[in-house]
Amino acid sequence: MPLWTDMFILGLVLTNFRLLATSRLAAVIQTTVLQAVFLIAIMLAMTPRPWPSLLILLSLITFVVKGALLPWLLSRAVREVKVLREIEPLVGYSASVLTGVALLGLSFLIFLPMKGAVSVGSDFLLPGALFTTLTGLLVIVSRKKALTQVVGYLVMENGVYAFGTALAVEEPLLVQMGVLLDVFVAVFIMGITVHQISREFDHIDTDRLSELKD
Amino acid sequence: MTSIINLLLALMLSPLLIGVINRTKAKIAGRRGQPLLQPYHDLVKLMKKGSVYSTTTTRVFRLGPVASLAAVLVAVTMVPSGGMGGVFSFAGDFVFMAYLLGLARFVTVIAALDTGSAFEGMGASREVQFAILAEIVLLLGLAVLAIGTGETSLTGIYGKLWVSAASALGPASLLVAFAFLIILLTENARIPVDDPNTHLELTMIHEVMVLDHGGVDLAFIQYGAALKLWLFAALLTGLAIPFRTGIVSLDMMVNTAGIFAAAILVGFIESGMARLRLLNVPQMLIAALAVTVASLLWILR
């Protein structure tokens, strides 16, 4: 069903806007869960039924890692460092959303000539994936809290994952597993680091770390 | 012919829409609430009163309510509902409609400024500030629908929505419907933006502009506001329920029910949400803008 695929990609795009517009860390983490659900939905909607058992296995693993484990780790970190909001982002929330609109336009512009050349389930998948990647990047560079930056990294990886669904429909398992493992380890380490930083310095503001002297 | 009936429905039932919103809010809060027909009683009461004009005001102040009601009345004639077209329809009339609403706002704003009161000036400034963003979203949303259906009149656009709802226009028109809901709340001064029931100066927008109007003038303003609510509810309903049965009377009933369902939805939103801080209102409108631009890109590919 191409219409369903379109709807789910649209959902993915909208979660990106939500990420750019919100200051609450709880909402930011919730967005990653939503994105995981949409990624799996896109993958399943694009594959004709009956679904191969490999695909079902992969989506299960994806959901456990992206939709349950990583958000759980992140919300535990939020609870431990007791930070609820991103107070002063480098780019304001309205400006972030407007930049997001520009990035979405750019993504469509880039993939417009490629329409039909690459046979993927939907014309919107590649622009949607690129937009997700760029949103992650924007979040990493424009927010100060380490936790939001971790989520930005996650979202960037979600974009790469969506690219993977588009271009490697046949042989996804090995690539996807590798990426998933990478992200899992990265977030795990970042979670520990964030915790350590906040214990040593009483805050997790990465901006102030650059002023450290020896 | 049938579109005339639609227009008459709008003219007669629009104050009831406000009664329905108030009743919904009262029910959710556990109050009994004012009678459903209270807006009509208010209008009749105001129509019986004379007007008092401050000596500092000029002709502009008296023009405001009359001109804004006239503009909204003309705008309502163009709105299609329930599969029937508007009474008037021509190519590009959605731009005309948007600018009629703009004209209505403009005369209200200069009438408010004409009083010379600092308080009303503040309200006028806020109204215009939010209107800038709201107008872009409205026009862009209608443009998305026009591109998606390949039609340039409101009647044509809303007539074709049902036919092409299953194609790529489906997700896009859902997004536009969401943006229109936010615009409905903003333009009609409903809760996340403005509270129509309070006179608290920190957050007032629309009510503050009409404080100095009384009697017949106030009745005109309130009736115009009710018509404007009907207009936006009709636009939203046409998007959210694009189904047609082909039987004219049935379609009309479904559509009218949809408009009242929109009023009940507004009541629910007002009961469930707190009013946003004034600084956050543009942020909400920019979110609506982002959603609309996303749907525009969707349609354009």
Whether residue B72 is predicted with pLDDT greater than 90 in this model: the reply is yes
Which residues of A are less than 8 Å from B166 in CB distance? 3
pLDDT at B226 (0 to 100):
94
Query: Pick from A14, A97, A104: which is nearest to B297 by CB?
Result: A104
CA distance A73 to chain B (A): 29
Of B162 and B252, more confident: B252
Residue B46, CA distances (Å) to B39, B41, B43, B182, B217 in order: 11, 9, 5, 30, 8
pLDDT band of residue B166 (cuts 50, 70, 90) is: low
CA distance A68 to chain B (A): 28
Per the structure block, which two tokens stand in for B124? 């006028």
| pLDDT tens column, B234-274 | 999 988 887 777 788 888 888 899 999 999 999 999 998 88
Task: Give residues 16 to 75 of A whose Cβ lies within 8 Å of B.
Answer: 17, 21
| Count of beta carbons in the 10 Å neighbourhood of residue B191 | 21
- Residue A116 to residue A111: CA distance in whole angstroms: 10
Over chain A, what is the mean pLDDT? 81
Length of chain A, please?
214
Region of residue B33 (left: phi > 0; alpha: psi -120 to 50; beta: else):
left
Residue B134: partners with Cβ closer than 8 Å, 6 or more residues away: B183, B186, B187, B285
Whether residue A3 is predicted with pLDDT greater than 80 in this model: the reply is no
CA distance B297 to chain A (A): 7
Q: Do B290 and A98 touch (CB under 8 A)?
A: yes
Angle at A52 between CA A47 and CA A54, to 5 degrees: 110
The verdict on pTM exceeding 0.80 is yes
Q: Which amino acid is at A213?
A: K
Which residues of B are less than 8 Å from A14 in CB distance? 291, 294
pLDDT band of residue A1 (cuts 50, 70, 90) is: low
ipTM comes to 0.80
Angle at A114 between CA A113 and CA A119, to 5 degrees: 155
CA distance B57 to chain A (A): 39
- Residue B192 to residue B205: CA distance in whole angstroms: 12
pLDDT band of residue B109 (cuts 50, 70, 90) is: very high
- Residue B3 to residue A178: CA distance in whole angstroms: 62
Size of interface A-B (CB pairs under 8 A): 52
Q: Do B170 and A3 touch (CB under 8 A)?
A: yes
Q: Which residues of B1-36 are buried (b: 16+ CB within 10 A; e: fewer)?
A: eebeebbebbbebbbbbbbbbbbbbeeeeeeebeee
Q: Do A112 and B301 touch (CB under 8 A)?
A: yes
Taking the CA of residue A173 as centre, how many other CA atoms within 13 Å lie in the half-sphere pointing to its CB?
A: 8
- Residue A151 to residue B129: CA distance in whole angstroms: 34
| pLDDT tens column, A19-54 | 998 888 889 999 999 999 999 898 888 877 777 777
Q: Which amino acid is at B35?
A: P
Q: Do B287 and A14 touch (CB under 8 A)?
A: no
Of B135, B133, B69, nearest in space to B107 by CA:
B69
| pLDDT tens column, B194-232 | 877 776 666 678 888 888 888 899 999 999 999 999 999
Whether residue A173 is predicted with pLDDT greater than 70 in this model: the reply is no
CA closest to B174 among chain A residues: A7
Whether residue B277 is predicted with pLDDT greater than 90 in this model: the reply is no
At which residue do the structure tokens 């939500």 appear?
A18
pLDDT, average across residues B138-156: 90
Residue B255, CA distances (Å) to B97, B229, B250 in order: 20, 15, 9
DSSP assignment letter at B274: P
- Residue B184 to residue B3: CA distance in whole angstroms: 23
Q: Do A10 and B287 touch (CB under 8 A)?
A: no
- Residue B77 to residue B86: CA distance in whole angstroms: 6
DSSP three-state, residue B5: helix
A6 touches chain B (CB under 8 A): yes
Residue A47, CA distances (Å) to A175, B91, B214, B251 in order: 18, 43, 65, 38
pLDDT at B15 (0 to 100):
94
Q: Do B298 and A105 touch (CB under 8 A)?
A: no
Query: Pick from B167, B287, B298: which is nearest to A97 by CB?
Result: B287
B286 touches chain A (CB under 8 A): yes
CA closest to B300 among chain A residues: A108
Of A156, A152, A143, A155, nearest in space to A205 by CA:
A143
Of A202 and A147, more confident: A147
| Count of beta carbons in the 10 Å neighbourhood of residue A109 | 11
DSSP assignment letter at B88: S
pLDDT at B261 (0 to 100):
94
